[in-house]
Amino acid sequence: MGTVVEAASKNANGSILEKKNPTVVFVLGGPGSGKGTQCANIVKHFGYTHLSAGDLLRAEIKSGSENGTMIQNMIKEGKIVPSEVTIKLLQRAMQESGNDKFLIDGFPRNEENRAAFEKVTGIEPAYVLYFDCPEEEMERRLLSRNQGREDDNIETIRKRFKVFLESSLPVINYYDAKGKVRKIDAARPIEEVFESVKAIFGPKNEKVNQYVRIMSKLYMYKFHFASKTKIGNHYFSRFALPFGPIDYVHPRFYGGNLEVILLLAACSVPAHFVTKLENL
C-alpha cells in the first residue's frame, strides 16, 4: 500500500487548484501560542476550513505507514518535516474539504516550505495571522495542558521554540515586508485574543457580504450602472479591472476585493435604491 504522499501525488494536477481563487490564510506562532483555539473560533464564526499541519502529520503517524514513522522520528529529534510531505497532506485535505477558504495552521515553518507551497499550489496567502506570545507563557501553557502528546516535554518544547525562532520568524518577516502580516498579542486571555481576530475577519466580511449582495442584484436585474455613477478611468487602471466603463457589474469582475467593492458601492446610487436591492 502506498503512502499518503504517494496517493496525494497522483491527484496533484487535479487538486484544489481547480477551484477558483481559493483564499488561504497562514496561521503562525510559537508552540503554545493558542493558534488552534483561535482557528476553531474563526471556523465557527467565519466559515473557514482549519487545516493544522501538525494534526495532519500526527494523523499520518497514527496510520502506521512508513511515511508516518519517518515523520515521528523527525519530530522527536526536533527537526522540520520535508516540505513535500506536508504540502501533499495539505493538498489532499483541501481537495476533500469542499471549501475554498482555508486557515493553514503551523505552516510554512521555514522559507523552503513557503517557496515550495507557492510553487506547487500556485497560491499566495491573503495574509498571515501571527500570534505573538512570550516564550515563558507558551512554555507554561504547554506544560500545564494534558493532551497526551509525546512531544510535550520540557526538552522537546525548548527545541520547538528554537526551531520556531530560527526558521519561522524569517517567513513572518518575508510576508511582513509585503504588508501581509496581521500581528496579534496572544499572551492575553482567549476571549481578548479573539476580539483582535474578529477585528481582522469580522468587519471586512460583513461589508463584503453586504455589497456582494447589492452588486449581484444589480447584475441580475440588469440595472444600467453607468447611467447612475461617475467613475474615473483611473480607477480601472488602478485596480486592473478587466472591463471598461461599467454597463453591468458581474460578481466575477470584483472577486471579493474589498476596496473595489467599497468603491463601486460608494458611487452615487440613491440610498432608497440600495435599500430596495437589499430587500429583494
Return the pLDDT at 81.
Answer: 79
Burial class (CB in 10 A: 0-12, 13-18, 19+), 35: buried
Co-location of 104 and 157 in the same domain: yes
State the binding site. 32-37, 58, 79-81, 106-109, 113, 145, 149, 160, 188
Co-location of 74 and 181 in the same domain: yes
State the binding site for ATP. 32-37, 145, 188
Cα 139 from Cα 208, distance rounded (Å): 39
Inside any domain, residue 197: no
Q: Any residues with CB less than 8 A from the CB of 182 and at least 6 apart, and which? A: 127, 128, 129, 130, 200
Domain boundary among 157, 187, 217: 187
Domain boundary among 131, 159, 187: 187
Inside any domain, residue 106: yes
Inside any domain, residue 196: no
User: By C-alpha distance, which of 142, 156, 125, 143 is closest to 35?
Assistant: 142
Cα 211 from Cα 199, distance rounded (Å): 19
Co-location of 213 and 119 in the same domain: no
Inside any domain, residue 94: yes
Please give the residue range of the domain that contains residue 79. Answer: 4-187
Co-location of 60 and 22 in the same domain: yes
Per-residue tens of pLDDT for the chain, all 280 residues: 444 344 334 444 444 445 457 899 999 999 899 998 999 999 988 889 999 888 899 999 999 888 899 999 988 888 877 898 899 999 989 989 989 999 999 899 899 999 999 999 989 999 999 999 999 999 999 988 755 555 567 888 888 888 888 999 999 999 999 999 999 999 999 999 999 999 888 755 544 445 444 544 444 443 344 433 433 333 333 333 333 333 334 444 444 444 444 444 544 444 444 444 444 3
Co-location of 154 and 255 in the same domain: no
Co-location of 34 and 119 in the same domain: yes
Co-location of 17 and 64 in the same domain: yes
Return the pLDDT at 203.
Answer: 58
Co-location of 51 and 179 in the same domain: yes
Co-location of 135 and 102 in the same domain: yes
195-221 residue pLDDT tens: 999 988 875 554 444 544 454 444 444
Domain boundary among 162, 187, 212: 187
Return the pLDDT at 114.
Answer: 96
Inside any domain, residue 121: yes
Cα 155 from Cα 192, distance rounded (Å): 30
State the binding site for CMP. 113
Inside any domain, residue 193: no
* CATH code of 179's domain: 3.40.50.300
Inside any domain, residue 100: yes
Domains of the chain: total: 2
Return the pLDDT at 260.
Answer: 45
Inside any domain, residue 192: no
Interior angle at CA 195, CA 190 and CA 196, nearest 5: 100
Co-location of 53 and 95 in the same domain: yes
Burial class (CB in 10 A: 0-12, 13-18, 19+), 145: exposed
Cα 69 from Cα 268, distance rounded (Å): 62
Co-location of 211 and 164 in the same domain: no
pTM for the whole structure? 0.63
Q: What is the DSSP string of 246-279?
A: -SS--HHHHTT-HHHHHHHHTSS--HHHHHHHHH
Return the pLDDT at 21.
Answer: 76
Co-location of 36 and 121 in the same domain: yes
